[in-house]
């Protein structure tokens, strides 16, 4: 299990959705805030009559913000102890063991609703952004034997496809994250003309991520934090 932690470098935008239903009736009209519950008839066991209720459907849209919406937990299941390093252990599921920001659906999501207007006010352009990942050091959990060296451990992000609500998918990369190296590795980066709207990438299948594990690992459970950092201005030194 990999404990996912998240770093935000932008303002957070929240939208509230409420379901709604409206039932029409010629026999009786009631208002949900005042008159429910309401019966279809004043006569017991009556098979005639009807009743209606009114509720609200609402949504709020905002513009001008770049937000990190969701980050995935990753679980690589169980593997046998080996005298050699084990490569490319496939992802099993997204069940996390630690309460953090990670989700159990494997979703990585960014929303960009920003725009930039030219000085003459005639041209509107998009603003680039960058998402990186850093893998912390693997260590034992729940009092199990500690790792003497986790430097040979790593995670390979292999997903090559995602979706964008505006049909303008940003660049999606397949970095190899090394345990404890503290380096940021590029996962997604937008450019002029792409990456606006909501971009969603799922790491929830065996071929979308894998684990490299060191040799002679003592029995136990091990995990490491992944820090996902959303940068409003791309850092060109990140690879």
Q: What is the pTM of this model?
A: 0.75
Residues 103 and 80 in one domain: yes
Query: Is 236 within a domain?
Result: no
Over pLDDT 90: what percentage of the chain?
49
Which range, 11-20, 43-52, 140-149, has the best average confidence (pLDDT)? Answer: 43-52
List the beta bridge partners of residue 75: 93
> Looking at the structure, do residues 98 and 182 belong to the same domain, yes or no?
yes
Q: Hey, what are 232's tokens?
A: 């409003």
Is residue 220 in some structural domain? yes
91 Cβ neighbours under 8 A, 6+ residues apart: 74, 75, 76, 203, 204, 205, 206, 208, 209, 210, 211
Q: Same structural domain for residues 171 and 110? A: yes
Q: Check whether residue 151 and residue 48 sit in a common domain.
A: no
- Tens digit of each residue's pLDDT (9 = 90 or more) over 154-181: 999 999 999 999 999 999 999 999 999 8
Do 96 and 35 lie in one domain? The reply is no
With DSSP H G I counted as helix, E B as strand and the rest as coil, what are the percentages for the chain, rounded to 5?
Answer: 5, 35, 65
| Three-class SS state of 14 | coil
Six-digit token pair at 20?
Answer: 């709604």
Q: Which residue has the higher pLDDT, 142 or 167?
A: 167
In a domain, 46, yes or no: yes
pLDDT of residue 15: 29
Considering the chain, what is the average pLDDT of its residues?
82
pLDDT for 59 beyond 90:
no
Q: What is the pLDDT of residue 147?
A: 74
The pLDDT score that the predictor gives to residue 26 is 35
Q: From start to end of 136-196, where are the E strands?
A: 139-140, 154-157, 163-164, 171-172, 176-178, 185-189
- Please give the residue range of the domain that contains residue 39: 18-58
Question: Smallest Cα–Cα separation from 39: which of 47, 90, 77?
Answer: 47
**Same domain, residue pair 9 and 32:** no
Please, which pLDDT band fits residue 52 given cuts at 50, 70 and 90?
Answer: confident
Gap between the Cα atoms of 174 and 34, Å rounded: 56
pLDDT over threshold 70, residue 18: no
The tally of domains found in the chain comes to 2
pLDDT tier, 144 (very low <50, low <70, confident <90, very high otherwise): low
In whole angstroms, give the CA distance from residue 209 to residue 228.
Answer: 15
Is the pLDDT at 16 greater than 50, yes or no?
no
Cis peptide before 163, with omega less than 30 degrees from 0?
no
Q: Mean pLDDT, to the nearest integer, of 199-212?
A: 97
More confident residue, 21 or 55: 55
Rounded Cα distance between 56 and 58, Å, is: 6
What are the structure tokens assigned to 75, written together?
């679980």
Decide which of 39 and 12 is more confident.
39
Residues 42 and 70 in one domain: no
74 and 121 within one domain:
yes
* Tens-place pLDDT, residues 70-127: 999 999 999 888 888 899 999 999 998 888 899 999 999 999 999 888 778 777 788 9
pLDDT for residue 10: 26
Please tell me whether residues 89 and 206 are part of one structural domain.
yes
Show the tokens assigned to 238: 């990140």
Q: Does any domain span residue 239?
A: no
């Amino acid at each position: 299990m990999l404990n996912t932690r998240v770093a935000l470098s932008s303002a957070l935008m929240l939208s509230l959705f409420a379901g709604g239903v409206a039932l029409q009736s010629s026999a009786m009209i009631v208002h949900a805030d005042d008159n429910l519950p309401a019966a279809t008839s004043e006569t017991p066991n009556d098979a005639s009559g009807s009743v209606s209720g009114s509720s609200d459907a609402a949504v709020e849209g905002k513009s001008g913000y770049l937000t990190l919406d969701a980050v995935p937990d990753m679980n690589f299941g169980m593997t046998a102890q080996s005298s050699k390093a084990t490569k490319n252990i496939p992802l099993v599921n997204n069940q996390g063991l630690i309460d953090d920001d990670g989700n159990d659906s494997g979703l990585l999501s960014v929303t960009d609703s920003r725009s930039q207007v030219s000085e003459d006010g005639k041209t509107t352009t998009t603003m680039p952004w960058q998402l990186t990942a850093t893998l912390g050091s693997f260590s034992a959990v729940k009092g199990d034997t500690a790792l003497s060296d986790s430097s040979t451990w790593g995670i390979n992000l292999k997903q090559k496809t995602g979706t964008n609500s505006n049909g303008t998918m940003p660049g999606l990369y397949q970095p190899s994250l090394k345990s404890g190296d503290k380096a940021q590795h590029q996962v997604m980066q937008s450019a002029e003309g792409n990456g606006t709207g909501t971009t969603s990438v799922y790491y929830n299948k065996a071929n979308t991520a894998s684990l490299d594990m060191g040799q002679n690992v003592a029995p136990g459970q091990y995990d490491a934090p992944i820090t996902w950092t959303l940068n409003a201005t791309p850092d060109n030194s990140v690879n």
